[in-house]
Amino acid sequence: MYDPHQVLQALDANKVGVIAFCGLAMIFNYIWFVQAVRQGFKDQVYPIPMFSTLFWLCGDGTGVLRHDMYFVQYHHWYLELFWYALIFTVTFEIIFIVMTLKFGKKELTPRWRSQDFYLLFAGGAVIFGLSWAYILTALPDDLNIIYFNLANMAGPIAMAMLILRRGGSTAGTSTAIWVNYTLMISCWYFAQYTYFGPEFRTPLMLTFYLVNIGSAAGLAVYLWRQRVPKTAAPDHKQASMA
What residue ranges do the domains of the chain occupy? 4-226
Q: Find how far residue 33's CA is from the centre of its chain.
A: 9
In order along the chain (242 residues), what is the average pLDDT of each group of 10 residues?
A: 93 97 97 97 95 94 94 96 95 97 93 93 94 88 93 95 92 96 98 96 97 97 77 40 38
What does the alpha-carbon distance between residue 213 and residue 183 come to, in Å, rounded to a whole number?
8
| String of DSSP letters for 62-131 | HHHHTHHIIIIII--HHHHHHHHHHHHHHHHHHHHHHHHHHHHHHHH-TTS-HHHHHHHHHHHHHHHHHH
Q: What is the pLDDT at residue 140? A: 83
Q: What is the pLDDT at residue 35? A: 97
pLDDT in tens, 155-174: 999 999 999 999 999 999 99
Q: What is the pLDDT at residue 228? A: 55
CB 144 within 8 A of CB 152: no
CB 197 within 8 A of CB 55: no
Q: What is the pLDDT at residue 1? A: 77
Q: What is the pLDDT at residue 233? A: 38
Q: What is the pLDDT at residue 137? A: 87
